[in-house]
A and B are shown apart, each in its own frame.
Chain A
Amino acid sequence: QKEVEQDPGPLSVPEGAIVSLNCTYSNSAFQYFMWYRQYSRKGPELLMYTYSSGNKEDGRFTAQVDKSSKYISLFIRDSQPSDSATYLCAMKRTAGGSYIPTFGRGTSLIVHP
């Protein structure tokens, strides 16, 4: 079993839909949770960063963390064709005073007009 599980999709939705992306994890040592967006042939870029269980909102994006269930989500409201990309969840655990990241495999999102 991988430490971080993420459905690769693709997830296809119409413009304006609410998108829900999810990851589960097995390592209780993960303390920090992130969502990255990666366009084709580009490096990932950070969208959201959370630490505690609960919700964090930034514009059209809401990140949700449930540590008791080891489950994190990213919601995108009013999705746009420009949101079409791969969304990667990532988590960090501490080791020797530093933070070691682990990424999910990414979910491919397609928003069609």
Chain B
Amino acid sequence: EAGVAQSPRYKIIEKRQSVAFWCNPISGHATLYWYQQILGQGPKLLIQFQNNGVVDDSQLPKDRFSAERLKGVDSTLKIQPAKLEDSAVYLCASNPSGTDTQYFGPGTRLTVL
């Protein structure tokens, strides 16, 4: 079974630029999560999708971050414009319906200069 795929793995941008991350969850997994993990901290939930609907986005900075999950499969997370404090690893995770076991992707490491 293929795992959660994320791309790119690394991204370096300057502040005020925009950036997008892509996540392909495990096939059949209804729930998809985006997390931000700043160095030395635990993952912070940004947004949680159930199929293509949003379950929780209370910690998503909506003035600059946006996310979508078209057709309930792949998802993209966008930052526009980026700030220095957005430097972090962005993790995508998914779990199938009826379970709470999250499977994490390898993450995208973002550096904002």
Contacts and interface: CB of A to CB of B under 8 A. Distances in A.
Given A43-B106, A49-B100, A101 B42 contact: no
Interface in B25-53: 31, 33, 35, 40-45, 48, 50
Q: Secondary structure at chain B's binding surface: helix, strand, loop or mixed?
A: strand
A46 B102 contact: yes
Interface string A25-65: 00000001010000001111110010000000000000000
Contacts of A80: none
Given A42-B106, A92-B100, A103 B50 contact: no
A45 B104 contact: yes
A104 B42 CA distance: 5
A57 B82 CA distance: 44
A20 interface: no
Contacts of A98: 31, 48, 50, 55-56
Contacts of B43: 44, 88, 103
B39 to A, nearest CB: 11
Q: Taking chain A's interface residues, is the majority helix, strand, or loop, or is none over half, making it mixed?
A: strand
Contacts, number: 58
24 contacts: A6-B42, A34-B100, A41-B106, A41-B107, A41-B109, A42-B106, A42-B107, A43-B105, A44-B91, A44-B102, A44-B104, A46-B101, A46-B102, A49-B101, A90-B42, A95-B56, A96-B55, A102-B45, A103-B35, A103-B43, A103-B45, A104-B42, A106-B41, A106-B42
